[in-house]
Amino acid sequence: MERKNVLIADADLQRQRDFETKIKAIHESRSAAPKAMVDTFGCQQNVADSQHIMGMLEAMGCTFTDRAEDADIIVLNTCAIRDHAEKRVFGNLGALTHTKKANPEQIICLCGCMAQRPEVAEKVRKSYRHVDLVFGPQALWKFPQLLYQVYTRRGRVFSIDDEHGQVAEGLPVVREGNIRAWVSIMYGCNNFCSYCIVPYVRGRERSREPEKILAEVRELAEAGYKEITLLGQNVNSYGKDLDRDYDFADLLAAIDEIEGDYLIRFMSSQPKDATYKLFDTMARCKHVAKQLHLPVQSGCDRVLRAMNRPYDRAKYLELITYARKVMPELVLTSDVIIGFPGETEEEAMETVDLVKEVRFDALFTFIFSPRPGTPAAKMDDPVPRSEKQVWFDRLCDAQNEISAQLHAAYVGKTLRCLVDGETDDSRWPLSARTAGGRLVHLVGDKSAIGTYHDVTITDSNTWALFGEMN
Q: Give the residues lining the site for ligand SF4 (CB under 6 A).
A: 189, 191-193, 196, 198-199, 233-234, 270
Residue 179 CB, nearest distance to ligand SF4 (Å)? Answer: 27
SS3 185: coil
Q: Which amino acid is at 363?
A: L
**434 forms bridges with which residues in the sheet?**
417
DSSP 10-40: HHHHHHHHHHHHHHHHHHHTSSSPPEEEEEE
Name which of 147 and 198 has its Cβ closer to ligand SF4.
Answer: 198
Name which of 193 and 220 has its Cβ closer to ligand SF4.
Answer: 193
Cα 466 to chain centroid distance, Å, stands at 27
Residue 320 CB, nearest distance to ligand SF4 (Å)? Answer: 18
* DSSP category for residue 444: S
Of 449, 441, 366, 450, which Cα lies nearest the Cα of 407? 441
Name which of 109 and 198 has its Cβ closer to ligand SF4.
Answer: 198
Residue 409 CB, nearest distance to ligand SF4 (Å)? Answer: 31
Residue 216 CB, nearest distance to ligand SF4 (Å)? Answer: 23
Q: Burial level of 425, CB count in 10 A (0-12/13-18/19+)? A: exposed
Residue 326 CB, nearest distance to ligand SF4 (Å)? Answer: 24
Return phi, psi of residue 5, to 5°.
-90, -10
* DSSP category for residue 72: S
Name which of 45 and 99 has its Cβ closer to ligand SF4.
Answer: 45
Name which of 192 and 364 has its Cβ closer to ligand SF4.
Answer: 192
Return phi, psi of residue 420, to 5°.
-125, 0
Name which of 290 and 371 has its Cβ closer to ligand SF4.
Answer: 371
Residue 229 CB, nearest distance to ligand SF4 (Å)? Answer: 16
Q: Burial level of 365, CB count in 10 A (0-12/13-18/19+)? A: middle
Residue 114 CB, nearest distance to ligand SF4 (Å)? Answer: 15
Name which of 165 and 444 has its Cβ closer to ligand SF4.
Answer: 165
SS3 119: helix
Residue 408 CB, nearest distance to ligand SF4 (Å)? Answer: 32
Name which of 37 and 189 has its Cβ closer to ligand SF4.
Answer: 189
* Interatomic CA distance for residues 163 and 369, integer angstroms: 26
CB 1 within 8 Å of CB 236: no
CB 368 within 8 Å of CB 337: yes
Residue 233 CB, nearest distance to ligand SF4 (Å)? Answer: 4
CB 37 within 8 Å of CB 74: yes
Name which of 198 and 323 has its Cβ closer to ligand SF4.
Answer: 198
Cβ atoms within 10 Å of 414's Cβ, excluding its own: 12
The enclosing H or E element of 363 equals: strand 362-367
Residue 24 CB, nearest distance to ligand SF4 (Å)? Answer: 36
For residue 143, give every residue at least 6 positions away whose Cβ sits within 8 Å of its Cβ, in sequence order, or none. Answer: 16, 53, 56, 111, 135
Name which of 54 and 189 has its Cβ closer to ligand SF4.
Answer: 189
Return phi, psi of residue 205, to 5°.
-60, 130
Name which of 228 and 376 has its Cβ closer to ligand SF4.
Answer: 376
Residue 295 CB, nearest distance to ligand SF4 (Å)? Answer: 7
CB 133 within 8 Å of CB 147: yes
Q: Could you tell me the sign of the dihedral formed by the alpha carbons of 435, 436, 441, 443, in that order?
A: negative
